[in-house]
Amino acid sequence: MSDDAPRFAVDAMLGRLARWLRVLGYDTAYDAGMDDPQLVQLARDEDRLLLTRDRHLLRELKPARAHEVRQDHPLRQLKELVAALRLAPPPALFTRCMLDNAPLEPVERAGVLPLLPEGVREHPGPVWRCPMCQRLYWDGSHVRRMRRALEAALPGWLAPD
Ligand SMILES: [Zn+2]
């Protein structure tokens, strides 16, 4: 992800979009417990583009930088953003934790082998760990499923696997 890639602050109604943006490696702040003024403040303090479906928020709180999301379905919302902001496809998927936005770190496979599901242990491949929540990520069926969903929603956008 390049240094000038946009960074986002996502409102509480767009949690699934936030996860997709993290899967793509975009730095995405999302906290369902935050109220609207806190979210607008966070976006301003951290120079993030606010993504919201809430017209009331846009009208009343006038965030400096915002995009009003119009689509209902998370992958259509992502497609809307890719077009509106001309988002570049990421060099790789799953470089950031879906749950807390932390960049993932590679780990020695041998050291985490007992923590991997049985079916995954037998297949070689890199493993990453989230330094915040310690969750492990590997290139398995879950990743392939999400990649297929992205390819279906955004044909030709992602680099081939
Ligand atoms: Zn995490």
- Token look-up 């479906």 returns 53
Q: How many residues make up the chain in this entry?
A: 161
Residue 46 within any structural domain of the chain: yes
Which of 31, 51, 85 delimits the end of a domain? 85
- Which residues are 110's β-sheet partners? none
Residue 99 within any structural domain of the chain: no
Q: How far does residue 107's CA lie from ligand 1's centre (Å)? A: 14
Q: How far does residue 56's CA lie from ligand 1's centre (Å)? A: 32
Which of 34, 54, 85 delimits the end of a domain? 85
Q: How far does residue 60's CA lie from ligand 1's centre (Å)? A: 33
Q: Please, which pLDDT band fits residue 160 given cuts at 50, 70 and 90?
A: confident
Radius of gyration, CA atoms only, the chain: 17
pLDDT given at position 81: 97
H/E segment holding residue 23: helix 15-23
Q: How far does residue 53's CA lie from ligand 1's centre (Å)? A: 26
The tens digit of pLDDT for each residue in 92-146 reads 899 999 999 999 999 999 899 999 988 888 888 899 999 999 999 998 888 899 9
Residue 151 contacts by C-beta under 8 Å, 6 or more apart in sequence?
158
pLDDT given at position 10: 98
Domain check: are 114 and 78 in the same one? no
Residue 143 contacts by C-beta under 8 Å, 6 or more apart in sequence?
93, 94, 137
Q: How far does residue 136's CA lie from ligand 1's centre (Å)? A: 8
Q: How far does residue 10's CA lie from ligand 1's centre (Å)? A: 17
Number of domains comprising the chain: 2
Residue 32 within any structural domain of the chain: yes
Higher pLDDT, 120 or 28: 28
pTM for the whole structure: 0.93
The tens digit of pLDDT for each residue in 47-95 reads 999 999 999 999 999 999 999 999 999 999 999 999 999 999 998 899 9
pLDDT given at position 142: 87
Q: How far does residue 132's CA lie from ligand 1's centre (Å)? A: 5
Q: How far does residue 131's CA lie from ligand 1's centre (Å)? A: 7
